[in-house]
């Protein structure tokens, strides 16, 4: 069933008349109420546009009424004048143009109001800050004096502590410096005493006298020859001992090196067929000294004019309580069994090097030790 718009025409006409009449009577910028005709011609095809136009006009008028109280009086007069000029053919476009000026003026007024409020707030903040600074300045003098006294007290304590610490460090440094100096002096003194002891030992022994044979010259050739032979014999024995130890060390190193290649093979070093020359020489020297010594325990059987101390193995086998070495040509420091050693007696007599060497040479010739 098609909808009949003719039934709604009286109702719509009454609503529009009442809305327009209310808007015209309540508007603050309308001087003369609008003339309402008795009859309306309504086009149903354009009723939608009519409703939109009516709603838009009502919205613009409501916005204008809301802004009238927020703008100055001059802006209100200008807005009313703009509306009055377009009264005959008022439309939403013209009303919107007049309202745009009013909106712009209201916005400027609000911005100015905000700026004024911001300026007032800044002024109040500055005034409050000035008051606070004034109050602080009144009480800061007392607080600053208290803080200054505390700072001075702290620095006084700090200076005293630093002074004690520095004095303690200086005393420690002086103590360590003194200890190092004493340690150096003690070390130097011990080295000097050892050096002097070695020098005195060399001077007191026949070997020492021979080592310094260039420092004193004798008139007899026999003196240098006997002491030189004694020194050469001692030197050969020392060389042989060093060579024997070196050969043993080399054999041990070779055995260890070869055993690393194959751990399953047992490797040991062996001497070649026949004794080497050094071993033969050692055996000859050992037989020579064995022929001079005594191998069994004997009472009151001292050794006279011995050239060298007894070997260690002979000292263990032969007691020296009643069989000392008398008038030996080595010092008692080399052997505790040596009694009345000739070098010790010559040193006790405070003889010079040349005179001591002469007496030693004479005793070697008398005893026949120089011919061995």
CA 346 – CA 153 distance, rounded (Å): 79
Helices (H), 71-205: 73-85, 92-204
Mean pLDDT of 77-88: 74
CA 317 – CA 295 distance, rounded (Å): 7
Helices (H), 262-295: 277-292
pTM of structure: 0.25
* pLDDT tier for residue 46 given thresholds of 50, 70 and 90: confident
CA 337 – CA 325 distance, rounded (Å): 6
What phi, psi does 231 have (nearest 5°)?
-70, -40
Residue 162 CB neighbours (<10 A): 10
Mean pLDDT of 112-137: 80
Cross-strand partners of 303: 325
Q: How far is CA 309 from CA 94, 119, 212, 250, in A?
A: 146, 119, 22, 30
CA 46 – CA 52 distance, rounded (Å): 10
| 327 or 23, greater pLDDT | 327
Whole-number pLDDT of residue 144: 73
Cross-strand partners of 304: 326
* pLDDT tens digit sequence for 9-35: 444 554 454 444 444 444 444 443 444
Question: Mean pLDDT lowest for which of 39-53, 174-188, 194-208, 253-267?
Answer: 194-208
**112-139: string of b/e by CB count within 10 Å (b at 16+)?**
eeeeeeeeeeeeeeeeeeeeeeeeeeee
For residue 201, is pLDDT > 80? Answer: no
- DSSP track, 228-258: HHHHHHHHHHHHHHHHHHHHHHHHHHHHHHH
Mean pLDDT of 73-87: 76
* pLDDT tens digit sequence for 159-173: 888 888 888 888 888
Q: What 8-state DSSP symbol labels residue 72?
A: -
CA 340 – CA 363 distance, rounded (Å): 14
Q: What 8-state DSSP symbol labels residue 214?
A: T
Q: How far is CA 356 from CA 68, 216, 345, 352, in A?
A: 144, 11, 10, 6
What phi, psi does 182 have (nearest 5°)?
-65, -35
CA 232 – CA 238 distance, rounded (Å): 10
Are 323 and 303 in contact, with CB atoms under 8 Å apart? yes
- DSSP track, 177-205: HHHHHHHHHHHHHHHHHHHHHHHHHHHHS
| 295 or 259, greater pLDDT | 259
**289-316: string of b/e by CB count within 10 Å (b at 16+)?**
eeeeeeeeeeeeebbebbbbbbeeeeee
CA neighbor of 303 nearest in space, from 335, 259, 346, 266: 335
């Amino acid at each position: 069933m098609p909808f009949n718009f003719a039934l709604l025409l009286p109702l719509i006409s009454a609503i529009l008349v009442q809305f327009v009449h209310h808007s015209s009577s309540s508007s603050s910028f309308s001087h003369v109420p609008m003339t309402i005709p008795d009859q309306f011609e309504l086009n149903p095809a354009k009723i939608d546009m009519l409703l939109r136009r009516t709603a838009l006009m009502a919205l613009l008028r409501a916005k204008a009424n809301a802004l009238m109280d927020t703008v100055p009086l001059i802006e209100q007069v200008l807005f009313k004048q703009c509306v009055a000029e377009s009264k005959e053919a008022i439309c939403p476009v013209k009303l919107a143009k007049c309202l745009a000026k009013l909106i712009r003026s209201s916005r400027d007024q609000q911005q100015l109001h905000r700026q004024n409020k911001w300026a007032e707030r800044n002024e109040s903040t500055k005034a409050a800050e000035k008051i606070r600074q004034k109050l602080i300045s009144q009480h800061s003098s007392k607080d600053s004096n208290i803080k200054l006294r505390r700072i001075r007290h702290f620095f006084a304590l700090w200076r005293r502590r630093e002074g004690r610490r520095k004095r303690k460090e200086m005393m420690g440094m002086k103590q360590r410096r003194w200890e190092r100096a004493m340690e150096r002096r003690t070390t130097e003194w011990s080295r000097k005493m050892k050096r002097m002891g070695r020098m005195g030992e060399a001077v007191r022994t026949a070997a020492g006298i021979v080592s310094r044979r260039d420092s004193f010259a004798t008139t007899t050739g026999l003196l240098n020859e006997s002491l030189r032979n004694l020194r050469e014999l001692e030197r050969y024995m020392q060389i042989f001992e060093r060579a024997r130890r070196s050969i043993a060390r080399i054999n041990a190193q070779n055995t260890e090196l070869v055993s690393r290649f194959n751990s399953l093979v047992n490797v040991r070093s062996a001497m070649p067929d026949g004794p080497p020359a050094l071993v033969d020489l050692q055996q000859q020297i050992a037989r020579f000294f064995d022929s001079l010594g005594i191998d069994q325990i004997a009472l009151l059987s001292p050794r006279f004019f011995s050239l060298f101390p007894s070997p260690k193995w002979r000292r263990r086998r032969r007691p020296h309580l009643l069989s000392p070495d008398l008038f030996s040509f080595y010092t008692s420091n080399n052997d505790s069994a040596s009694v009345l050693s000739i070098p010790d007696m010559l040193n006790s007599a405070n003889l010079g090097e040349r005179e001591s060497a002469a007496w030693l040479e004479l005793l070697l010739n008398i005893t026949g030790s120089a011919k061995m």
